[in-house]
Amino acid sequence: MTDKKKVAILWLGSCGGCDETIVDINELILGVVNSVDLVLWPVALDFKYHHIEKMADGEIALGIINGHVRNSDHAEMAKLMRQKSQVILAFGACACFGGTPGLANLRSKEDIFRWVYQEAPTVINPKGVCPQTTTRVDGKELTLPEMFESVHSLDQVIDVDYYLPGCPPPPYLVLKAITAFLENTLPAKGSSLASHKALCDTCPRNASKPNKVAITEIKRIHEVEADPTKCFLSQGIICMGPATRSGCGESCININIPCRGCFGHIELVADSGAKFLSGLASMIDADDEAGLEKISDQVRDTIGYLYRFSLPISIMNQKKLQSDEVKSDD
């Protein structure tokens, strides 16, 4: 037996990038693995769910969960992890905010199924078949999890103790979070384990940002060669920096690409999209309402920019979630 703290890593509706960023701490992962007792990591280890089911409630010291909740398997595993874990860390943008796949909340499940299984140009489906939760083939039963109507962030399904944002969180923040856990220096419950500043405050182009940004034309990233030294907004390019939490290391800015908000909302802001929209309105430089409308119409995909990673937790999405299946299962 070991007296090391038990840690479980689980992925739900995930792309694998969060697991990859754990490996990206490179040689230091050997030390981390030796410091804890890893009891689950499906991408890397062959422990099965029944191993977790057999554990005592609260036996796992830290449950790290990445990915959103989109189907019955995800919800079931999230609830099991909550039951068995003292501390739950929502790891990455999908777990924290729903992530990019959360944009699927703009579409019904039926609409998605119709395209994927019937209308896409390569599909050949003469009988109109769709995946079923239970199928009998030659007398043999096969089952699939039920896909929910909406994508959910983790805290819409279970109680979450800490949030580590980013798509994925950068390796240095992963190490910092693990170190805080091992040294018992985690902050107050509910905290984000990232900077409390906005990206604009740490952006290397901050000095070039004028006191008052005056946008006369919105430009798309493929239309212009952005000046790599100047604030994107001052060049008329949508950048979510003012409404996004810092901590990414400005990795996108460094390759001359504006922020899309994967670190989510800044401290004390409930809705990063609304926050940004309010700021953007004040930056548009127009003499009259018609001029204002002309420039604002140049923002071609408002939701896609403002809620690229956070639609499931936005105020826009709340009515839909109230009637969703996950809540009724509690």
Segment contacting another protein by CB under 8 A, of 139-147, 174-182, 192-200, 275-283: 139-147
Site for another protein in 115-134 (CB under 8 A): 115-118, 120-125, 129-132
Residue 89 Cβ vs another protein, minimum distance, rounded to whole Å: 18
Q: Give the chain's length.
A: 330
| Cα 154 to chain centroid, rounded | 10
* Site pattern 176..215 for another protein (x: CB under 8 A): ----------------------------------------
Site for another protein in 304-323 (CB under 8 A): 304, 308
| Residue 45 is a binding residue for another protein (CB under 8 A) | yes
Distance CA 148, CA 102 (A): 12
Residue 212 Cβ vs another protein, minimum distance, rounded to whole Å: 27
The closest of 7, 69, 82, 10 to 43, measured between CA atoms, is: 10
Segment contacting another protein by CB under 8 A, of 141-149, 155-163, 191-199, 317-325: 141-149
- Cβ–Cβ < 8 Å for 91, 18: yes
- Considering only 3, 34, 183, 268, the residue that binds another protein (CB under 8 A) is 34
Distance CA 87, CA 299 (A): 41
Segment contacting another protein by CB under 8 A, of 57-65, 181-189, 216-224, 320-328: 216-224
Segment contacting another protein by CB under 8 A, of 23-31, 185-193, 197-205, 319-327: 23-31
| Residue 3 is a binding residue for another protein (CB under 8 A) | no
Residue 2 Cβ vs another protein, minimum distance, rounded to whole Å: 10
| Residue 300 is a binding residue for another protein (CB under 8 A) | yes
| Residue 235 is a binding residue for another protein (CB under 8 A) | no
Torsion, CA 26, CA 31, CA 35, CA 36, rounded to 10: 30
Site for another protein in 265-294 (CB under 8 A): none
The closest of 305, 298, 283 to 239, measured between CA atoms, is: 305
- Considering only 21, 192, 234, 317, the residue that binds another protein (CB under 8 A) is 21
Distance CA 14, CA 108 (A): 20
* Site pattern 46..65 for another protein (x: CB under 8 A): xxxxxx--------------
Cβ proximity to another protein: between 161 and 245 the closer is: 245
Segment contacting another protein by CB under 8 A, of 6-14, 156-164, 203-211, 229-237: 6-14
Report CA-CA distances (Å) from 49 to 10, 56, 78, 281: 10, 14, 11, 49
Cβ proximity to another protein: between 37 and 285 the closer is: 37
Q: How many residues of this chain interact with another protein, rule: CB under 8 A? A: 88
- Token pair of 20 as six digits: 């990859």
- Token pair of 263 as six digits: 């670190």
- Token pair of 58 as six digits: 């609260």
Per residue, the 3-state secondary structure of 178-201, as one string, reads: HHHHHCCCCCCCCCECCCCCEHHH
- Considering only 22, 87, 231, 306, the residue that binds another protein (CB under 8 A) is 22
- Token pair of 83 as six digits: 């039951």
| Cα 110 to chain centroid, rounded | 24
Site for another protein in 65-94 (CB under 8 A): 70-71, 73-74
- Token pair of 153 as six digits: 């962030």
- Cβ–Cβ < 8 Å for 39, 63: no
- Considering only 1, 140, 211, 319, the residue that binds another protein (CB under 8 A) is 140
User: Other C-beta atoms within 10 Å of 85: how many?
Assistant: 26
Residue 22 Cβ vs another protein, minimum distance, rounded to whole Å: 7
Q: At what angle are helices 28-35 and 171-182 packed, to 10 degrees?
A: 30
